[in-house]
Amino acid sequence: MRNYILTFVLALLVVAASVSLRRAITANAVDVNSATLVAIGPSPAPIPPRATLAIGPSPAPIPPRGTAAIGPSPAPIPPRGQ
Amino acid sequence: MSGVVASDLLSYAGYTLEAGLLVYLVVRGYARPLWELAFYLGMSLGVAGARTFTLARYGLTSPQYGNCYWTTDLLLVLAAFVLVASFFRRACSHNQEMWHFVRLLLGTVLIAITIVSYFSLSNHHGKFFSFFIVEFSQNLYFASLVLTTLLYLMTLKMDIADERLGMLVCGLGIEFAGPAAGLALIYLSGGAEISHVIGVYFFPLCDIGMILTWFYAISRVPGPANAPRRVVDGTPAFARGNISHF
């Protein structure tokens, strides 16, 4: 029983550490205006995407934040110039 | 060399290395024993193919590419989580009781990440699908990063004889921790120049670093079947002097 409790506590610690680490690094991700700080030069889309991490070498598009959406939703609005 | 050209070159180098490693696994007969690597590489190449097709057809800023990218990113992060879980399985291959608890840990983490991602949507429930995919992918990415660190510490602590597993975990650590460190540096510096350098050069190099580390681990580092067995001397040290070798 004690091992199950320890496992559960460890799982919660892992999740808490993951979410905290993400929030610490990507604190500005929700703020579109400050998120333009990490936009890349004159290229059409930020490289890397604003405060998001992805696996693989493919170039990343603009993440769906604010009015952006995946699927049948309206097209993402680039943060640049806002 | 412009950043776009450099980014394209590094991207194509990453694809080529991934394809080369997958072919190497199949040709040399490692695809079955290292099925999780073949699965991850196959998934990554499939995702790259879908993204390349969408990118060429619709363009970088198109919603179609955005849909394709973030949907396939979810698949890729889930594949990476399966990879981490299978590495845990290998590390616990001689300890079934440990694997029982690790399995419970991984399942609990996955469920907790799903719940946290759902509640972090707060007032964006109208865009559940789009926001949930990104939230879930990002949270699972960082959870995989933390789990990879735990796995590496576990391989050190348990003194696992499989050196190849240690190298494979190191490669995965490069893939997870490298971009996280780069993003932290961007956040700390707050400058566009360093984010340009990191985005164009560092992130693709992390992917290439992982593939090269895996290549080295598979081709050069002996696996558990080929690893030299440790000679265990059952005789106490204080009694060795009294043993006759004749």
Decide if A57 and B208 are in contact by the 8 Å CB cutoff: yes
Each of the 246 residues of chain B gets a pLDDT tens digit; together they read 566 677 778 878 888 999 999 999 999 999 999 999 999 999 988 888 888 888 888 877 777 777 777 788 888 889 999 999 999 999 998 888 889 999 999 999 999 999 988 887 666 656 666 677 777 888 888 899 999 999 999 888 877 778 899 999 999 999 888 888 887 887 777 766 777 777 778 878 888 999 999 999 999 888 776 555 444 444 444 444 444 444
Which of the residues A1, A8, A15, A65 would you substitute to probe the B interface, choosing the one with the greatest number of B C-beta atoms within 10 Å? A15
Kindly list the residues from chain A whose CB atom is less than 8 angstroms away from the CB atom of residue B48.
Answer: 56-58
Rounded Cα distance, B85 and B49, in Å: 26
**B71 CB-near residues (< 8 Å, 6+ apart):** A70, B133
Per-residue pLDDT at A65: 46
- pLDDT at A53 > cutoff 90: no
Rounded Cα distance, B135 and B87, in Å: 25
Among A11, A51, A71, the residue with its CB nearest the CB of B183 is: A51
Task: Name the residue in chain B with its Cα closest to that of A2.
Answer: B101
Per-residue pLDDT at B157: 82
Kindly list the residues from chain B whose CB atom is less than 8 angstroms away from the CB atom of residue A44.
Answer: 60-61
Mean pLDDT, range A15-21, rounded to an integer = 86
Residue B87, amino acid = F
Task: Report, in this order, helix, strand and coil percent for chain A, each rounded to 5.
Answer: 40, 0, 60
Rounded Cα distance, A47 and A57, in Å: 11
- pLDDT at A39 > cutoff 50: no
Cα-based torsion angle of the residue sequence B52, A50, A15, B178 in order, rounded to the nearest 10 degrees: 70
Is the model more confident about A57 or about B62? Answer: B62
What is the reported pTM?
0.78
Per-residue pLDDT at B185: 82
Among B80, B175, B199, the residue with its CB nearest the CB of A47 is: B199
pLDDT digits (tens, 9 = 90+) for B1-48: 566 677 778 878 888 999 999 999 999 999 999 999 999 999 988 888
pLDDT digits (tens, 9 = 90+) for A58-77: 666 655 444 333 333 333 44
Kindly report the backbone phi and psi dihedral angles of residue B34, in degrees, each rounded to the nearest multiple of 5, phi listed first.
Answer: -110, 55
Per-residue pLDDT at B9: 82
CB B1: neighbour CB atoms within 10 A?
8
Task: State yes or no: cis peptide before A48, omega within 30 of 0.
Answer: yes
Decide if A28 and B60 are in contact by the 8 Å CB cutoff: no
Per-residue pLDDT at B239: 47
Write out the two tokens for A22.
């993400």
Closest approach of chain A CAs to the CA of B191, in angstroms?
A: 7
Give the up-direction half-sphere exposure of residue B147: CA atoms within 13 A in the CB hemisphere. 30
Q: Which residue has the tokens 């998001």?
A: A52
B103 within 8 A of A11, measured Cβ to Cβ: no
